[in-house]
Amino acid sequence: MSDLTQLDIAGARDALGKGDCSAEELTNAYLDAIHEADPLNAFITVLPGKAVEMAKESDARRKNGEAGPLEGMPLGIKDLFCTEGVKTTAASHILDGFTPAYESTVTRNLWDAGAVLLGKTNMDEFAMGSSNETSYYGPVRNPWRLEGDDNALVPGGSSGGSAAAVAANLCAGATGTDTGGSIRQPAALTGIVGMKPTYGRCSRWGTIAFASSLDQAGPMTRTVRDAAIMLGAMAGHDAKDSTSINTPVPDYEAALEGGVKGLTIGVPEEYRVDGMPKEIEDLWQRGVDLLVEQGAKVKTVSLKRTKYALPTYYIVAPAEASSNLARYDGVRYGLRVPGDDITSMYENTRAAGFGAEVKRRILIGTYVLSAGYYDAYYLKAQKIRTLIAQDFKDAFEDVDLILTPTAPEPAFGIGAKTDDPLSMYLNDVFTVPASLAGLPGISVPAGVSDKGLPLGLQLIGRAFDEETVLRGAYALERAAGFTGKPDAWWRS
Amino acid sequence: MLARIAIKDDEVPPLVGELNQILDWVAQLEEVDTDGVMPMTSVVDASAPLRADDVSDGGKRDDVLRNAPDAREGHFTVPKVVE
């Protein structure tokens, strides 16, 4: 067979099942592709030896008739998931040399389903960022570039390495984590599918914590079908995470068919923000038209508190982050920078170990949680969060899914927003509300910008109704017919 | 500082500017009427499950210490805290 990396998960499953290729051959094809893609900087750690060993074990299982749902599938794993015996960095200097003695539940589930670990993908430091520029290991370059322009663009973030790796065919699929849009926004900026399931659907155990009430793992794939296959393997109840929901995982792939006929799609008027670029507005309208053509009904809905979602998020998430990141003290993990006494050792270690964006969020979080400010900031934000969730609940009385753009603009240049934290935060304006409400959302590539860059549309569903989200996304994907792939400029 | 991050004098002015910009921006939340609204405590409708009260894990001292920058004789070490 020609280039095995052209196969998506469903295609590779067929090829492996028919014996057209082995997991070892497939894995080697991806390892070669990764080797040639150094300029993208998509991986922090590549594991050729371990990957081939896991692929051989997979081939042996298949021979014994024990093939799992992801048997032999070579995956990239965001470097936020702890992997036993494999360096895990969260793209932070402060975790230098950290090698977990345990495996995260999500990755454990993937290996139990037969998947192969190719390597750990680059990301924004501690998943804080929307461009993958806050990584201690350097920015990831988007496989997509402007036509006739060699300047590097960001892949989005924080799961930017996973997004770039999937877009450039460096893995069959990848894991991401999404706190305020970290799966969906990079998926949109790289022309792939990214899904954040309902909060509680995937266990958070063994995933390095950023903001615990928001963090969710999800799949990043080339197609909606692949996302369904991968999510089925990742999800499930886990007694080790008390927020993991004890409810059966449906057969997501079986839920794809059926189309959108009979479904009502909500279009939230508040998402029509001032200054929305025409290409984004056009894409959104095109998405509406395509779903109507497929037989869906469309209804305008109101999510009144939308404009407060982003500032609410930038209180809640830093507050939780400041608490979660208190553990990096120079005593228990990784980096230690000496000081005159224990306090200065803490302070020096954290000054050297954390990057600028992480420090900003810890400082904001510490401030909004401090005595005297707690009620005005944190408590107020948690009340508004209740209202935002209520807005969604009310809207879902009338509609089955909500359609929005995923991101307010296509991929931008590396360095374009690094001096202005607020303009960077605005990239998550359409993804944060569903995160605050804990709802499932998916980004589907649906068109290209005026200058040829991929654009995504987001479908949001009811809590634990990933099936309808996937069904809608599958219909939208087929109707939109996005088949673009970047030129492989990184190989030259 | 509660955050326990050492900040050099020359880093302070830009940082103050950035943090004030962010805090000014989140101040728009004051205009939302939240009288009588309960703060969110759990994003999905679920009560916290109880587990059996027995020891199900532990005995992993060496695993726990393995990633410490300076572990000795079964302990984490820190600079001297008692004179």
Residues 443-472, chain A, touching B (beta carbon < 8 A): 463-464
Does pLDDT of A492 surpass 90? no
Q: Do A331 and B78 touch (CB under 8 A)?
A: yes
* Beta-carbon count within 10 A of A50 CB: 17
- pLDDT tens-digit series, residues B1-45: 678 999 999 999 999 999 999 999 999 999 999 999 999 988 887
Residues 282-301, chain A, touching B (beta carbon < 8 A): none
Tokens of A222: 């080339």
Tell me how close the Cα of A351 comes to any Cα of chain B, in angstroms. Answer: 5
Cβ-Cβ contacts under 8 Å, A335 against chain B: 69
**If you average pLDDT over residues A69-89, what whole number do you get?**
98
From CA A152, how far away is CA A161, in angstroms rounded?
Answer: 14
CB B3 within 8 A of CB A322: yes
Tell me how close the Cα of B79 comes to any Cα of chain A, in angstroms. Answer: 5
Cβ-Cβ contacts under 8 Å, A215 against chain B: none
A117 band by pLDDT with thresholds 50, 70 and 90: very high
Cβ-Cβ contacts under 8 Å, B26 against chain A: 311-312, 314-315, 377, 381
Q: Do A198 and B44 touch (CB under 8 A)?
A: yes
Tell me how close the Cα of A196 comes to any Cα of chain B, in angstroms. Answer: 15
The C-alpha R_g of chain A, in whole angstroms, comes to 21
From CA A160, how far away is CA A156, in angstroms rounded?
Answer: 5
Residue partners of A217: CB distance under 8 A and separation at least 6 = A81, A106, A175, A176, A177, A178, A197, A202, A203, A204, A207, A234
Predicted local confidence at residue A147, as pLDDT: 87
Give per-residue burial for A288-304: e unless 16+ CB within 10 Å, then b.
bebbeebebebeebebb
End-to-end CA, chain A:
23
Q: Estimate the crossing angle of helix A466-480 against helix A278-293, to 10 degrees.
A: 100
Residue in chain A closest to B15 (alpha carbons) equals A360
Q: Do A359 and B2 touch (CB under 8 A)?
A: no
CA A62, chain centre distance (Å): 30
- Unique residue bearing structure tokens 């006494």: A341
Predicted local confidence at residue B48, as pLDDT: 74
Predicted local confidence at residue B42, as pLDDT: 87
CA distances, A234 to each of A158, A174, A176, A464 (Å): 19, 11, 11, 14
Query: Is B55 near chain A, with CB under 8 Å?
Result: no
* Beta-carbon count within 10 A of A247 CB: 14
CATH superfamily of the A4-262+400-487 domain: Amidase signature (AS) domain (3.90.1300.10)
Residue in chain B closest to A361 (alpha carbons) equals B19
Tell me how close the Cα of B12 comes to any Cα of chain A, in angstroms. Answer: 12
E strands, A231-296, are 264-268
From CA A209, how far away is CA A271, in angstroms rounded?
Answer: 29
E strands, A148-199, are 173-178, 193-196
- pLDDT tens-digit series, residues A144-176: 999 889 999 999 999 999 999 999 999 999 999
Nearest to B4 among A239, A346, A360 (CB): A346
- Torsion sign, CA atoms A472, A173, A138, A34: negative
ipTM of this complex prediction, to 2 decimal places: 0.94
Tokens of B39: 């703060």
Cβ-Cβ contacts under 8 Å, A134 against chain B: none
Cβ-Cβ contacts under 8 Å, A341 against chain B: 79-81
Q: Which residues make beta-bridge pairs with B71?
A: B76
Structural domain spans, chain A: 4-262+400-487
**If you average pLDDT over residues A401-408, what whole number do you get?**
98
Q: Among A406, A419, A492, which residue's Cα sits nearest to residue A453?
A: A406
Nearest to A336 among B39, B66, B69 (CB): B69
Tell me how close the Cα of A68 comes to any Cα of chain B, in angstroms. Answer: 29
Nearest to B44 among A199, A312, A363 (CB): A199
E strands, A179-281, are 193-196, 216-221, 264-268
Tell me how close the Cα of A279 comes to any Cα of chain B, in angstroms. Answer: 27
Q: Estimate the crossing angle of helix A9-18 against helix A23-35, to 10 degrees.
A: 140
* Catalytic positions of A, written as ranges: 78, 158, 182
Cβ-Cβ contacts under 8 Å, A314 against chain B: 22, 25-26
Does pLDDT of A2 surpass 90? no
**If you average pLDDT over residues A229-243, what whole number do you get?**
95
From CA A173, how far away is CA A234, in angstroms rounded?
Answer: 12
* Beta-carbon count within 10 A of A257 CB: 9
- pLDDT tens-digit series, residues B34-65: 999 999 988 887 677 788 899 988 899 999 99
Query: Is B72 near chain A, with CB under 8 Å?
Result: no
* DSSP assignments along A181-192, one per residue: STTHHHHHHHT-
Residues 10-49, chain B, touching A (beta carbon < 8 A): 15, 18-19, 21-23, 25-26, 28-30, 32, 34, 37-46, 48-49
Q: Do B19 and A364 touch (CB under 8 A)?
A: yes
Q: Which residues make beta-bridge pairs with A217?
A: A177
Does pLDDT of A83 surpass 60? yes
Tell me how close the Cα of A352 comes to any Cα of chain B, in angstroms. Answer: 9
From CA A25, how far away is CA A47, in angstroms rounded?
Answer: 15
- Unique residue bearing structure tokens 């107020």: A380
* Beta-carbon count within 10 A of A152 CB: 18
CA A183, chain centre distance (Å): 2
Does pLDDT of A264 surpass 70? yes
- pLDDT tens-digit series, residues A421-476: 888 999 999 999 999 999 999 999 999 999 999 999 999 999 999 999 999 999 99
* Beta-carbon count within 10 A of A12 CB: 26
Q: Among A458, A483, A355, A409, which residue's Cα sits nearest to residue A156?
A: A409
CB A445 within 8 A of CB A459: no
Query: Is A270 near chain B, with CB under 8 Å?
Result: no
Substitution target from B8, B20, B26 for chain A, most A beta carbons within 10 A: B26
Q: Among A50, A35, A284, which residue's Cα sits nearest to residue A168?
A: A35
Q: What 3 state SS string does B16-31 have?
A: HHHHHHHHHHHHHHHH
Substitution target from A83, A88, A320, A332 for chain B, most B beta carbons within 10 A: A332
Give per-residue burial for A84-104: e unless 16+ CB within 10 Å, then b.
eebbbbbbbbbbeebbbeebb
Q: Do B29 and A315 touch (CB under 8 A)?
A: yes
- pLDDT tens-digit series, residues A310-344: 999 999 999 999 999 999 999 999 899 999 999 99
Q: Do B68 and A332 touch (CB under 8 A)?
A: yes
Average pLDDT, chain A: 96
Query: Is A93 near chain B, with CB under 8 Å?
Result: no
From CA A270, how far away is CA A243, in angstroms rounded?
Answer: 31
Nearest to B4 among A350, A382, A387 (CB): A350
Cβ-Cβ contacts under 8 Å, A342 against chain B: 78-81
Query: Is A423 near chain B, with CB under 8 Å?
Result: no
E strands, A216-374, are 216-221, 264-268, 297-301
Nearest to B37 among A322, A386, A437 (CB): A386
